[in-house]
Every structure is written in structure tokens, then in C-alpha cells.
Amino acid sequence: MPQDLDNSYGQLPARFYTRQSPDPVAAPATLRLNQRLARCLGIEPEMLSAEVLTGNALLPGSDPLAQVYAGHQFGGWVPRLGDGRAILLGEVTGDFGRRDLQLKGAGQTPYSRNGDGRAWLGPVMREYIVSEAMHALGVPTTRALGAALTGETVQRERRYPGAVLLRVAASHIRVGTFQYFAAQGDHEGLALLLDHAAQRHHPDARTPMAFLAAVTKAQAELVAHWLSFGFIHGVMNTDNMTVSGETIDYGPCAFMDAYHPGTVFSSIDQHGRYAFNAQPNMALWNLAQLATSLLPLMQGDADAAAEEATEVLEAFSPHFNAAWQHLHRAKLGLTTEEDGDEALVMGLLSRMASSQADFTATFAALRDGDASAHVTDTDAWDSWAPDWQARLAREPGDPSQTMARANPILIPRNHRIEEAIQAGLQGDYAPFHRLADALETPFDPAPEYLDLATPPRDDQRVMRTFCGT
């Protein structure tokens, strides 16, 4: 590696973290290494040995620490969470800016509560595949630089092989990090955190109000991206929402197969708090918690500041709508704007819902001009398609190219992830590698991967996902 890791977070006061080394593991073995990402970060792939991927050896300049944060989990306040199984090693810097390197599953920390600080193969594979697929789809996200087996087992409902993920993020600063300092009444800490986070993520937004506005816009655009690909995060707690605007924490997440706006996958989301179509509102709920945390830093009269913060939050909806409409117009092949476009998109979505049409396959089929095989109610299709064709006729460019860039052929389908995990548990990692390879080009997959595009048969359908602990 040309340069040592930097550690700007470790320069913040000691109450921001606990210095903590990864716990060594018995027998590190590399599962997968993201060579292309390593090179983008200026890291020689050879530096990322199995020892480094599991934390048995540290990259030069590492200053390992566990970050403290708080959060609302399913609406319930938890005053102290923190990295219970993750360790921030340090940061790489380059023309891309600054990126955290973090090991997930690297052993216990003071924030582990009753947890073992470890991760097992399943969630590590899931996060690797889904986070890299999100990146390839153009969705802001943390990334997977590598994954390794520990040679140890982890006790969950049964014993599983242990694994560690090396995660890359613009930062791991969450809404819950701000909540932690606000709840402590530590306004000095809060101001230091704001300075640090604004400098890293929103350098033109240094005041608390401007920062709130920047995070609001970034999150509104992020959630619009999720919806445009049928993605359900599943656990949008405030500790799982970054201020950078990157998707983080791929626990019980899933891409929908059959489209229904109320879809929920997570086994712990019993009331559908984080259902597909609830995601914009829940993002806004989380942003209101960020606003509350930032209030003590806002100048002048408290009531006036609260009122202004409320106005800033009210911009979520227009930001979200603008991004959502732009992304969904492109899915129909539209680059220009007309008044009836939203109704056209909604018209298709409601027909897809009543036909239980596969979300990804239906939009992919529009590229060929015909999704009637998916919207199985012929009357419903026939009452929509002519309006769409008429609208397309008024488009200047080549709509099929617009759709080819907006409608992926491949997404990480749940049953394929599950299949990769089950094979991995038998020691066969080929399906995992094949899925990860295929998802590098989701809009334009090689013909050999087209079987991965097929929606699940009824007996393959995965209806529940479990938290990645």
C-alpha cells in the first residue's frame, strides 16, 4: 500500500470511541477479495491477505477502535448501542476523498452487550452480494472490499462457520451518533461531530441547519433509488442511517420479486414499520430525530430554530418526489417531463400489483416493448400500454437506451442469495462467486448468467429474512 491508513475519527476526543483491537481468529481463509475496489482505493490487493481480512494482521497505520452511538430501534430509544461487532481500522484517502475501512464480525467490544462480536457466513455473504450489487445499480452504498472465514464457529440457532467482512464506507457516522451526544447533553461533542461529519460529507453545509438540509436531500434521493429497484432495507433504525447518504447495514434486506407496495421481509418487522412503501416516511422520521439532536447547536431563539428545522424537513417530500419521478420516468424510457407522467407510472405499478407481476422482470421486459407476459391481466395491460406508446412517440431520443440504463436484468434475488448461502454452508462457494460476478453488470449481464434473472418458482420463493447477527 502506497500510504499508511489515516485516522481522522481517532483524533476526535476519547469519548467518541473505545480503542479496541480485533480479536484474533483461529484459521483465516479468504472467501472473496474485491480486487477492483482495492485498486480504486490505492491498495495493492496482495496487501489484503486472509490475515488482514480477519483482523489477525493490521494494515500499516491502523488505529483500531469501536465507535459509540445510540439509536431508535423500531421506534424504541436505546441510549447506547455502538460497534458491538465492528472495528474501524482507519481511513484511506485519495482523489476519491476519504473512506473508512471497517471489519464487521471482528470480536467483542465494550458495546457488545450480550453479543459475541462475531458474524457468520450467511450475513457476510448477503452483505457482500447485496452491497456490491447496489453499487453496480448506481445506488449510494457502503461496499465490500473482502470477506474471509475465521476457521471458528458461531453459535446462533445452531453452529455456523464464522466470517468477517471488510467494509468500506464514506464514513460510519449515523443519525444515532448525533443522537448519542445530544442525549448526553454533550454539546461540545455534538459540535465536534458536526464539524467532522460536515467536512467529510457536506463541505458546503457547515451550519447545523445547512447540514440537516444536506442530509435530508441525500436521504430523500437514496430512498427514491431504493424504491426504483424494489429494494427493502428492512431495519431502518436511526443507528442504521448514515449522514453521508449511503445505504448501510444489510441485515434483513431484500429485493422484491412480485410487486406489492406493502411488502415486508424482515422476520422482526412484525408491524410492517419498514415495509417497502413506508420507507420514505421512516427516513423522514429518522431525519426528525437528527433535527432534534442538532437543535442545541442552532443559533438564536429556540422556537424559531425549531420552526426553521421543520421547514427544512418539509423539503424531504419535494426532493423525494423529484428523484422518484426522474428515476421512474427513465424506467418507462422517458427523459423529458410531461404532466401525465406520474399517472402513467402509477398506472403501471397498480396493474403490476394486481397481477403480482415481478418488479424487475416487468421493467426489464419494457425494454423489449412488451411486459404483457408479466401483467397477466390482459385488460389491465391493454388499458395502459397504448397511453405509454403514445407518450413514447413524443420522446426525442431512443427510449430503449434510457430503459436499458434504468431497468436492470439482474438483481440479487432472495432465493439465489439463499441458495449461495446454503451451498457455502456445505463448503461450496461457487454459487456465491457466480452470483457476485454476475451482479457486477446487472444492466447488461453475460448470457451465461441469464438463469439468475428468472423470478423464483412458488417453491423457491423466500418470504422471510432474518437479521444479520
φ, ψ for residue 52, nearest 5 deg: -70, -40
Q: Does 174 bind ligand AMP (CB under 6 A)?
A: no
CB of 255 to ligand AMP, least distance (A): 19
Q: Does 91 bind Mg ion (CB under 5 A)?
A: no
What's the full length of the chain, in residues? 469
166 within 8 A of 102, measured Cβ to Cβ: yes
- Write the CA distances from 419 to 79, 429, 449, integer angstroms: 38, 10, 15
CA distance 214 to 220: 10
Q: Does 179 bind Mg ion (CB under 5 A)?
A: no
The one of Mg ion, ligand AMP, none whose footprint includes residue 251, by CB under 5 to 8 A per kind, is ligand AMP
Q: Which of 118, 167, 172, 202 binds ligand AMP (CB under 6 A)?
A: 118
Radius of gyration of the chain (CA): 22
Q: Does 100 bind Mg ion (CB under 5 A)?
A: no
Question: Which residue, 227, 50, 230, 131, is CA-closest to 436?
Answer: 131
| Residue 221 DSSP SS3 | helix
Grid-cell match 438463469, residue found: 451
CB of 249 to Mg ion, least distance (A): 4
Residue 7 or 240: the one with the smaller Cβ distance to Mg ion is 240
φ, ψ for residue 104, nearest 5 deg: -110, 120
Q: Which stretch binds Mg ion (CB under 5 A): 97-105, 108-116, 244-252, 274-282?
A: 244-252
Q: Which of 67, 240, 362, 407 binds Mg ion (CB under 5 A)?
A: 240
Question: Does residue 239 have an active-site annotation?
Answer: yes
283 within 8 A of 316, measured Cβ to Cβ: yes
295 within 8 A of 309, measured Cβ to Cβ: yes
State the number of binding residues for ligand AMP (CB under 6 A). Answer: 18
Q: Does 40 bind ligand AMP (CB under 6 A)?
A: no
The one of ligand AMP, Mg ion, none whose footprint includes residue 85, by CB under 5 to 8 A per kind, is ligand AMP
CB of 156 to ligand AMP, least distance (A): 9
Residue 233 or 374: the one with the smaller Cβ distance to Mg ion is 233
Q: Which stretch binds Mg ion (CB under 5 A): 55-63, 200-208, 241-249, 264-272?
A: 241-249
Q: Does 85 bind ligand AMP (CB under 6 A)?
A: yes
Binding positions for ligand AMP, 315-374, rule CB under 6 A: none
Residue 20 or 240: the one with the smaller Cβ distance to Mg ion is 240
Q: Does 126 bind ligand AMP (CB under 6 A)?
A: no
261 within 8 A of 250, measured Cβ to Cβ: no
The one of Mg ion, ligand AMP, none whose footprint includes residue 116, by CB under 5 to 8 A per kind, is ligand AMP
Per DSSP, which regions of 227-328 are E strands?
Answer: 231-232, 254-255
Annotated catalytic residue: which of 23, 63, 100, 239? 239
Please name the amino acid found at residue 89.
L
Q: Which stretch binds ligand AMP (CB under 6 A): 2-10, 110-118, 345-353, 404-412?
A: 110-118
| Residue 371 DSSP SS3 | coil
CB of 235 to Mg ion, least distance (A): 7
Q: Which of 84, 110, 151, 296 binds ligand AMP (CB under 6 A)?
A: 84
Q: Which stretch binds ligand AMP (CB under 6 A): 113-121, 138-146, 291-299, 434-442?
A: 113-121
CB of 338 to Mg ion, least distance (A): 41
Q: What are the residue ranges of helices labelled H in 17-120? A: 35-40, 50-54
Binding positions for ligand AMP, 236-275, rule CB under 6 A: 239-240, 249, 251
Longest Cα–Cα distance of the chain, Å, equals 65
CB of 80 to ligand AMP, least distance (A): 9
Q: What share of the chain is helix, strand, coil (3-state, %, to 5)?
A: 45, 15, 40
Please name the amino acid found at residue 73.
Q
- Spell 158-175 as b/e; 16+ CB within 10 A means b: eebbbbbbbbbbbbbbbb
Site string for Mg ion, 249-268 (x = CB under 5 A): x-------------------
Instruction: Kindly tell me the burial class for residue 226, based on how many C-beta atoms sit within 10 Å of its own C-beta (0-12, 13-18, 19 or more).
Output: buried
CB of 101 to Mg ion, least distance (A): 17
Q: Which stretch binds ligand AMP (CB under 6 A): 75-83, 226-234, 432-440, 449-457?
A: 75-83
CA distance 104 to 451: 31
Spell out the residues 6+ positions from residue 143 whose beta carbon is closer than 8 angstroms to its own. 34, 37, 131, 132, 135, 167, 168, 169
CB of 408 to Mg ion, least distance (A): 26
Q: Which stretch binds ligand AMP (CB under 6 A): 27-35, 112-120, 195-203, 435-443?
A: 112-120
CA distance 428 to 420: 8
The one of ligand AMP, Mg ion, none whose footprint includes residue 118, by CB under 5 to 8 A per kind, is ligand AMP
Q: Which residues of this protein are in contact with ligand AMP, per CB under 6 A?
A: 81-85, 111-112, 115-118, 235, 239-240, 249, 251, 467, 469
Q: Which residues are catalytic?
A: 239
Q: Which residues of this protein are in contact with Mg ion, per CB under 5 A?
A: 240, 249
